[in-house]
């Protein structure tokens, strides 16, 4: 009896701690939501500014128009979807070559791929901006997309899956007259689908959240992404903090929804990097 009571107390205590910690973690998001849905006059009233009263959609609408956020969201999605599709295709092709084909310098080339993971984007962006400028690509979708269309990370992940497929599979397929590309399309890629899905979500998220590169290759608002749009919105309207927070809500909510839907793939994608090799 006493033991049972102690168990109950501990469980209640655990819930209390969980709720308190959850409230702390969520607090910045909550405060942002409250500010983003408040009319300008109410955002500075304490403590009502943190309570769900006087809420209005006008601020969100206002931020959407003033900040040109509709256009920026479209740009962000176009860029992120294109990068994701590009990365999946180039990674599938390269992973197939490394896993199923025999060719000279295979190990050396694989090391070259892995070496790219050691080069931080921050070390190359400076010169890549120069390249993009030389090509006349400043303020264009191709500037936002093309440099990121290949990744050794995706190649590595998909190759790992391909290596686990039984070799008889390829032999049987080639007896059936299936060429390499048909085998990749019909057999290998479908079998790697869970990993590809996880990797695709990971690439999409990384592309959508990019900051430095879109900042240095776009000046024209027509090609700005939503992250850079937020920077301009904040710089121009710092005296209207509710408007800035409404913009933040607009940039944040689509990603939050996507992640809630694809939580499982996300966890797979993030932990894939952590697997012991």
Partner 1 sequence: MSRSRAREVLLALALLAPSLILFGVFIFYPLGRAVYLGRYRGTSDNLRYVGWEQFRNVWESNEFHDAMITTVQFALITVPIGLVLGVGLAVLADSYIRGIGIFRTIFSSTVATSVAVASLMWLLLFQPSVGILADALPFDVFTEPGVLNDEDTALWAVSVTTIWSNLGFTFIIVTAALQSIPVDLYESSALDGARSWMRFTNVTVPMLGPTLLFVTVVLTIRAFQAFGEFDLLTGGGPGNATTTMTYLIYGNNSLIRNDLGLQSASAVLLFLFLLVLSIVQFRGLERRVHYGA
Tell me phi and psi for residue 219, to 5 degrees.
Answer: -115, -35
Dihedral-angle region of residue 165 (phi above 0 means left; psi in -120 to 50 means alpha; beta otherwise):
beta
Shortest Cβ 258–partner 1 spacing (Å):
8
Q: Please, is 252 exposed, middle or buried when counting C-beta atoms within 10 Å of its C-beta (0-12, 13-18, 19+)?
A: middle
Instruction: Determine, following the binding rule CB under 8 A, whether residue 270 of this chain makes contact with partner 1.
Output: yes
Interface with partner 1 in residues 70-99 (CB under 8 A)? 89-91, 93-94, 96-97
Instruction: Determine, following the binding rule CB under 8 A, whether residue 200 of this chain makes contact with partner 1.
Output: no
Interface with partner 1 in residues 215-244 (CB under 8 A)? 215-216, 227-228, 230-231, 234, 241, 244
In which element (H, E) is residue 94 found? helix 69-100
**Per-residue contact string for residues 29-48; x = within reach of partner 1 by CB under 8 A:** x-xx--x-------xx-xx-
Shortest Cβ 152–partner 1 spacing (Å):
8
Name 183's Cβ contacts closer than 8 Å, sequence gap at least 6: 100, 170, 173, 174
- Residue from 81, 187, 191, 266 touching partner 1 (CB under 8 A): that is 266
DSSP labels for 163-232? HHS-HHHHHHHHHTT--HHHHIIIIIHHHTHHHHHHHHHHHHHHHHT--HHHHHH--SGGG--HHHHHHH
Shortest Cβ 32–partner 1 spacing (Å):
5
In angstroms, how far is CA 212 from the centroid of its own chain?
Answer: 15
Shortest Cβ 57–partner 1 spacing (Å):
19
Instruction: Determine, following the binding rule CB under 8 A, whether residue 102 of this chain makes contact with partner 1.
Output: yes
Stretch that binds partner 1, among 77-85, 165-173, 188-196, 261-269 (CB under 8 A): 261-269
Instruction: Determine, following the binding rule CB under 8 A, whether residue 186 of this chain makes contact with partner 1.
Output: no
Answer for the pair 269, 202: CB distance below 8 angstroms, yes or no: yes
Interface with partner 1 in residues 52-71 (CB under 8 A)? none
**Per-residue contact string for residues 110-149; x = within reach of partner 1 by CB under 8 A:** --xx--x-xxxxxxxxxxx-xx--------------xx-x
Cα–Cα distance for residue pair 90/139, rounded to 1 Å: 25
Shortest Cβ 130–partner 1 spacing (Å):
6
């Amino acid at each position: 009896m006493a033991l049972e009571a102690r168990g109950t107390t501990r469980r209640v205590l655990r819930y209390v701690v969980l709720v308190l910690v959850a409230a702390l973690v969520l607090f910045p998001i909550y405060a942002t939501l409250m500010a983003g849905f408040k009319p300008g006059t109410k955002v500075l009233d304490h403590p009502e500014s943190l309570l769900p009263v006087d809420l209005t959609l006008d601020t969100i609408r206002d931020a959407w128009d003033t900040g040109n956020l509709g256009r920026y969201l479209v740009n962000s999605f176009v860029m992120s979807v294109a990068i994701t599709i590009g990365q999946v295709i180039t990674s599938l092709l390269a992973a197939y070559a490394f896993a199923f084909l025999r060719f000279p310098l295979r190990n050396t080339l694989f090391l070259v791929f892995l070496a790219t993971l050691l080069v931080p984007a921050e070390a190359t962006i400076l010169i890549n901006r120069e390249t993009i400028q030389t090509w006349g690509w400043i303020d264009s979708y191709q500037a936002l997309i093309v440099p990121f269309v290949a990744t050794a990370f995706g190649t590595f992940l998909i190759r790992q899956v391909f290596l686990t497929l039984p070799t008889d599979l390829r032999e049987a397929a080639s007896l059936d007259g299936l060429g390499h590309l048909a085998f990749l399309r019909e057999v290998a890629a479908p079998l790697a689908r869970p990993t590809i899905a996880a990797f695709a979500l990971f690439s999409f998220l990384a592309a959508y959240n990019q900051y430095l590169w879109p900042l240095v290759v776009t000046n024209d608002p027509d090609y700005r992404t939503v992250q850079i749009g937020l920077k301009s919105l904040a710089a121009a309207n710092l005296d209207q903090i509710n408007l800035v927070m409404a913009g933040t809500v607009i940039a944040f909510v689509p990603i939050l929804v996507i992640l809630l839907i694809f939580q499982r793939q996300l966890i797979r994608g993030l932990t894939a990097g952590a697997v012991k090799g």
